[in-house]
Structure formats: C-alpha cells, structure tokens
Amino acid sequence: MLSTEEAGRLRVVLVRSRNPLNIGAAARAMSNFGFERLRVVRPYEAGFREARSAVDAAQVLRSAEEFEDVGAAVSDCSLVAGTAGGAQRTPREPLQRLEDAAQAIRTQLRAGSRVAILFGSEKVGLSNQDLSHCQLLLRIPTLYDHPSMNLGQAVAVVLYELVRQTDPGGPSAVNATPATAEGRERMTEVWIEALTVSGYTHHGPDATLEEKVRRLVRRLDLTAPDLHEWLGLLRRIVWKARQSKEQD
Amino acid sequence: MLSTEEAGRLRVVLVRSRNPLNIGAAARAMSNFGFERLRVVRPYEAGFREARSAVDAAQVLRSAEEFEDVGAAVSDCSLVAGTAGGAQRTPREPLQRLEDAAQAIRTQLRAGSRVAILFGSEKVGLSNQDLSHCQLLLRIPTLYDHPSMNLGQAVAVVLYELVRQTDPGGPSAVNATPATAEGRERMTEVWIEALTVSGYTHHGPDATLEEKVRRLVRRLDLTAPDLHEWLGLLRRIVWKARQSKEQD
C-alpha cells in the first residue's frame, strides 16, 4: 500500500478524452484507490463540463487541473509513464509489463518524487508526440487480438496494480479459530451415536466406522464456531432418532 | 497466465445488473482478458437487451446464458466466489484479499474445475441469499471511505488479477476433485430434510435455516468423494428420523 502522502504525488493525466462517462469513471477509480490529482489535457470541452457536473467522484473532478499540452501537464513530475492501448502498433519506447512499471512508479513515489501516468483518448491512444514525453510505457496484459480497453477500466486496473501490493507484514484475512482435536472428537462421537441409534451398525460400536467418520470429520477443516453449530443441529437429529429407537 | 482452456472454465456471473453500459463493460473486460463465459441472473430485461445489441464485445454477450436464480447459475461450478462491494457491511463469509482469492481460483481452474465469480448489482451488491452460495468472498482493496466500485471496473480489476501473474514454477498441489455447487446443494437439502423431520423447524421450510445450513455446508470445503460419503451417512439418519416422525 501507498501512504496518503505517497499517493498524493501521483498525477493521472487524461489526454484528449472525449467521453464524459469515461472521465467520470476514471475519477471514480481514483477515489476508490485513494488518488486525488487528476489532470486533463485538451479534453473535449462539452464532455469535460458534463463529467465535472456528475454527482460521484465530484471532489477529484472539481479539483482537476486543465492543460493545453502534455509537456505542461507533466512538467513538475520526475517520472512520466505512458499507457499502451491497442492503438499503438510498435511504440519506440521500451514496453514494460504493468507489474514491473508499477514497481518503478511506487519506488519514485516513496522517494518523494512526483509521477505522471498518461492515458490516451479512447479512439487513438497516445500520439507519438505524447509518447515522446514518457520515460516508460506500460502495457496491461490484454489479449493481442482484443487489446483495447475502455479508458475508465484501464485507469482502474493501473491504479489497482499500484495499491494492491500489501507489503509483507500487513494484515491478511482474519480467519476464525480452528476447531480443536477435542472438538472434532466430540463431533465424531455424536455422529457415531446418530448412526448407531439409526441402526447403521447392527452389532454395536464398529471400529471401522469410527475410523471412517473420524477421518471424514477431520477433513472438514472446521472452525470452532462452525463445529459448535453442527453439533447443535446433529444433536437435535440424534434426539429424534433416539425417540424412534425407543419406540422400536 | 491461464491457458485458453483454463480461462474457459471461469464463469462471470452478473446478478441483477441494471445498467446496460455496465453489462457491456463487463463483457468487454472479459474479451480483453480472454474470458468467454458470461452468465446473468435476473438482469433488468431492457438493459440486458440493450447491452446485447452493443457493437463491441458482441461475442461474449451473444453467448451469455440467462438464469432465474444464483443456485442454477452456479450449479456446475466447484468453487463459487463472491465480490464484496461497498454495500456489504460485515459479511459472514471470510473476506480474502483479491490477490489471495485469485490464487485459489487459478488453482481450481488449472485442476480442471469450473469456477464462478459473482458480481452484485450496482446499487446493493450481493444479497445475503446470494452470498450463502459463495465459498469465499473477495475484496478489491479500495479505500474504506470510497469502497464502492463501478461494476465494469470491478470486473476488469478482478479479471486482470486472474491473468496478470506470471507464476513461478508449476502448478501447486492438486487435491481430490472438489464437490460441485450442485452436490453441496443436495447436501444442504438432505440436512434440511433431516432437521425438518426431527422437528427442528415447527413451521415447515424456513429460509433463514436454509441459508444457515447452506453456508455451513459450503464452508466444509468438501471433496466430491467425501460429499458422497456424508450423504450416505446422513440419508440413513433421515430414514430413521422419518420412521419416528410417522410414529408420532
């Protein structure tokens, strides 16, 4: 994860975007992943106005900065990365996998440098002129015969990749306490009881059945709370089966 | 990366989606990342028709399968994963980071099993009823105060995470064939039957109990052979309890 301060050094730069829905979607993804600094270069004016007036992600859009050209939009950034959509055939810049590029970007943000990531227009991507400002070009691993992503989705994927990494030591999913061997054994006993009163074994306790049930219960990989629940359900059934047994 | 065959085992399941643009965006992300099998559960009809008629990603949408409920949509899948949007406050299912969940999903796809990933509606996400079908719940690492992603963007991020990894080494441990959702549903039904004949529910079928049992069964993480064994044991008990019931 990036700290708020580190994330604050990233500029998402949309170059000649036309579709207001896409601009809105890009801003929303920024809010989702904790980035605030949106820059737009020569947006299609009507589209940009429309996107700004949308209700969600309003803060990111309201504070968006507008520029006349890419050079001005990235002038305060140390690292400038372009995104390769499907439109670029054979870019002259070195193409990096998103994962590797994200690593380089995080390193810069952590070192206190500002970084810009450029996203081209939906139709034609970034021009050679735009790319000439970029030190690296990142590629999202889309299929070669379906390479071109929707702009909002491309922004979401790139920002996700920047934040996804939980550095070692961070909290992972907290699982419930596993059941103890004692709990599992109680469960095994109640099952044997249920099967016995149900007439599953005709000759009383059966070592083979007991082993089989114990093995099955062990493989259930139960948590302590779940084991408690199952015992409750099972005991109800045993109680009923026992009534039946007594009536035999 | 996943092979074409492995990717072909994934089902993307959109539950009660309303917005045609989002359905179209989800389909487009599927095309971008090489997934083909889209399923929709009770989509908003007009929206679904509109999305189907959009020009891009037409193949994925044309072949989309439509279902009346989540159970039917996931019945042939061994692993069912839900996505946690911002709407769920404190889900009862264990919440996994997307990265960890993706690892589990890839393992299943490589082992030859079918996997479903459920995405809820834009407004309310997945219901508790929907979640009771899920073995794991994955969370995209959005900010806690801006958790709710656009549906098309969420699909793009999840599918990206599935394909991005260049795995070190070969496949991990292949376990016994996991039980399918259909098998688990049968187990749930037999338990409900056992509890009903044992008088656990006095007022006939009970939706809350059903959800509870489905969730407990799902968390057992059963293999197909073990599920078969448990069903055999349980049916014996039901048979006995039913005798008792008839004698009441």
pLDDT digits (tens, 9 = 90+) for A65-79: 999 999 999 998 888
Indicate whether A215 belongs to any domain: yes
Distances (CA, A) of B112 to A77, A162, B6, B102, B169: 47, 31, 7, 16, 18
Contact check, Cβ <8 Å, A172/B28? no
Cα(B201)–Cα(B208) distance, integer angstroms: 11
Pairing type for strands B10-15 and B37-41 reads parallel
- The beta strand positions in B36-85, using DSSP E, are 37-41, 65-67, 79-84
Which pairing describes strands A95-97 and B95-97: parallel, antiparallel, or unpaired? unpaired
Place of tokens 């419930």: A176
Which tokens is A211 given?
A: 């082993």
Q: What is the pLDDT of residue B18?
A: 85
Backbone phi, psi, residue B66, to 5°:
-110, 135
Q: Give the residue from A164, A197, A226 where a domain finishes.
A: A164
| Chain A interface includes B225 (CB < 8 A) | no
pLDDT at A176 > cutoff 80: no
* A192 lies in the same domain as A149: no
The reply to whether A50 and A105 lie within a common domain is yes
DSSP state of B83: E
A221 touches chain B (CB under 8 A): yes
pLDDT tens for residues A106-131?
Answer: 999 998 889 999 999 878 889 888 88
CB-based contact B29 A150, cutoff 8 Å: yes
Last residue of a domain, one of A164, A189, A214: A164
Q: Are A67 and A21 found together in one domain?
A: yes
pLDDT at residue A16 greater than cutoff 80: yes
For chain A, the straight-line distance linking the first and the last C-alpha, in angstroms and rounded, comes to 66
Give me the domain span that covers residue B123. Answer: 4-164
Name the token pair of A85: 């959509």
For residues A191 and A241, the model is more confident at A191
pLDDT of residue A154 exceeding 90, the answer is yes
**How many domains are contained in chain B?**
2
Write down the pLDDT at residue B180. 86
Residues in chain A: 248
pLDDT category of residue B19 using cuts at 50, 70 and 90: confident
For residues B187 and B157, membership in a common domain is answered with no
Q: Does B175 touch chain A (CB under 8 A)?
A: no
pLDDT-derived band at A162, boundaries 50, 70, 90:
very high
Window B:4-23, CB contacts with A under 8 Å: 21
Three-point CA angle A19, A22, A23, nearest 5°: 90
pLDDT band (50, 70, 90) for residue B200: confident
User: How is residue A123 written in tokens?
Assistant: 């139709």
Check if A157 contacts B (Cβ < 8 Å).
Answer: yes
pLDDT mean over A160-165 = 90
Facing A198 at nearest CB: one of B34, B226, B240 = B240
Answer left, alpha or beta for residue A110, where phi above 0 means left and psi between -120 and 50 means alpha.
Answer: alpha
Query: Would you call B98 an interface residue with chain A, using a CB distance cutoff of 8 Å?
Result: yes
- Residue A214 in any domain: the answer is yes
User: Quick one: closest CA in A to B240, which residue?
Assistant: A198
Among candidates A181, A179, A195, which has minimal Cα distance to A234? A195
The reply to whether A36 and A82 lie within a common domain is yes
Residue A79: C-alpha distances to residues A76, A102, A133, B83 (Å): 9, 12, 10, 34
Residue B168 confidence class, pLDDT cut points 50, 70, 90: very low
Kindly state the percentage of chain B with pLDDT values over 90: 37
Pair B139, B207 in one domain: no
Domain identity same for B40 and B113? yes
Is B244's CB within 8 Å of A239's CB? no
Nearest Cα residue to B99 out of A163, A32, A152: A163
CATH number of the domain to which A52 belongs: 3.40.1280.10
Residue B146: inside a domain: yes
Q: Among A164, A189, A216, where does a domain finish?
A: A164
Q: Could you tell me if residue B107 is inside a domain?
A: yes
What is the pLDDT of chain A when averaged over all its residues? Answer: 83
Q: Which pLDDT band, with edges at 50, 70 and 90, does A143 fall under?
A: confident
Is position A172 within any domain? Answer: no
Same domain, A203 and A140: no
The stretch A3-25 carries a mean pLDDT of: 92
- Position A86 scores a pLDDT of 53
Contact with chain B for residue A230, Cβ under 8 A:
yes
Whether residues A88 and A206 fall in one domain: no
A143 shares its domain with A224: no
Residues A240 and A131 in one domain: no
Whether this model's pTM surpasses 0.80: no
- Rounded Cα gap, residues B62 and B44, in angstroms: 16
Which residue among A213, A223, A236 places its CB closest to the CB of B198? A236
CA angle B30, B106, A137 (to 5 degrees): 55
Place of tokens 């997934």: B35
pLDDT band at residue A170 under the 50/70/90 scheme: very low
Separation CA A75–CA A69 (nearest Å): 10
pLDDT of res. A182 = 79
Residues B17, B62: Cα–Cα separation, whole Å: 16
Asked whether residue B176 is domain-assigned, the answer is: no
CB < 8 Å to B32, chain A:
140, 142-143, 146-149, 153
Contact A1 B141 (CB under 8 A): yes
The answer to whether position B117 is within a domain reads: yes
Cα–Cα distance, A19 to B189 (Å, whole number): 50
Nearest chain A Cα distance for residue B115, angstroms: 21
Q: Are residues A25 and A127 in the same domain?
A: yes
Q: Which of B197, B203, B199, B207 is nearest to B236 (CA)?
A: B197
According to the model, what pLDDT value does residue B174 have? 41
- pLDDT of residue B244 exceeding 70, the answer is no
Residue A61, H or E segment: helix A58-62
Say if A170 falls within a structural domain: no
**Partners of A80 in the β-ladder:** A116
